[in-house]
Amino acid sequence: MTRRKLLAGNWKMYKTVAEARQFAEQLGRRSTDLAAVSDYAVCPPFTALQTLRVILPTAVALGAQNVHPEANGAYTGEISVAMLAELGVSYVIVGHSERRALFDEGDEFVAQKVASVLQAGLIPILCVGENQAQRERGQAFEVVARQTQAALADVAGDALAGLVIAYEPVWAIGSGHTPTPVDAQQVISHIRSVVADSKGAAGAVSVRILYGGSVKPTNIDDFTHQPDIDGALVGGASLAADSFADMALAMNGRVRG
């Protein structure tokens, strides 16, 4: 089975609405570099979703960086899946390591979010990955297996085609350091085997698994040409439209014309 590659930008807490608008206009001028063989998404702060929905190139889908699992309620400051769906959001990042570490989000809460995103017909981008200490102790496989199993506990095997997993080693995020592409391939292949063991082979073959952590135009294709790596989740290098378009070209094996 061929899985479509996905390039997803995670803007984190960067860009005002005016800056987001500028990005969309610049990316629009490079829209021929966003080949239809792959999928693209940007995940801006909530405040820029409405504007980007109107002005992003049509090849680029909209994503959110977080969501609350409940449909509504007394949760000051939170956003529900229905609110995101109404704004044309297709993807929702769930369980990013910054949310796990800085906002104390545990595996169970992450699992609730995955379930509610899937239930609404949106696509979760479930982030998993070991931190530096865990890597040094040789626990990368064990950590990603635990996070993946926990987050997918209530997900049926046939729902996996609508799911994206991103392997993001915490020590690689924003650091300029990456695992080797072969190393990332091995961990991602392990994640796929964990999914196969718990959800069945068909689901494991269809789930898309991205690599994330210090991806940029000059290294993206080293990762995305590995057999089990179906694209990239990119922070810093997704903030500039030219860099985003250059990564799209490189991921698709093309050069700028």
Contact residues for ligand PGA, defined by CB under 6 A: 10, 168, 173-174, 212-215, 233-237
**Catalytic (active site) residue 190:** no
Nearer to ligand PGA, 79 or 247 (CB): 247
Residue closer to ligand PGA (CB basis): 159 or 220? 220
Query: Alpha-carbon distance 48 to 222, whole Å?
Result: 31
Residue 41: what residue type? A
Torsion-angle region of 213 (φ positive above 0: left; ψ -120 to 50: alpha; else: beta): left
Smallest distance, Å, CB 92 to ligand PGA?
14
Burial of 138 (0-12, 13-18, 19+ CB in 10 A): exposed
Three-class secondary structure of residue 60 per DSSP: strand
Please, what is the minimum distance in Å from the beta carbon of residue 241 to ligand PGA? 16
Among residues 95 and 236, whose Cβ is nearest to ligand PGA? 236
Alpha carbons 215 and 232: distance in angstroms, whole number: 7
Minimum distance from residue 236 beta carbon to ligand PGA (Å):
4
With respect to ligand PGA, which residue has the nearer C-beta, 40 or 157? Answer: 40
Cβ proximity to ligand PGA, 159 vs 172, nearer residue:
172
Question: Any long-range contacts for 19-24 (C-beta under 8 Å, 24+ apart)?
Answer: 20/44, 20/48, 20/51, 20/52, 21/51, 21/52, 21/55, 23/239, 23/240, 23/241, 23/244, 24/51, 24/52, 24/55, 24/56, 24/57, 24/241
How far apart CA 97 and CA 71 sit, in angstroms, is 24
The residue at minimum Cβ distance from ligand PGA is 235
In the bound complex, what is the minimum distance in angstroms from residue 66's beta carbon to ligand PGA? 12
Catalytic annotation on 168? yes
Residues 96, 105, 130, 190: which is the catalytic one? 96
| Smallest distance from ligand PGA to CB 126, Å | 12
Q: Which of 98, 105, 130, 168 is catalytic?
A: 168
In this structure, are residues 114 and 152 in contact, taking their beta carbons and an 8 Å threshold? yes
Catalytic residue positions? 96, 168
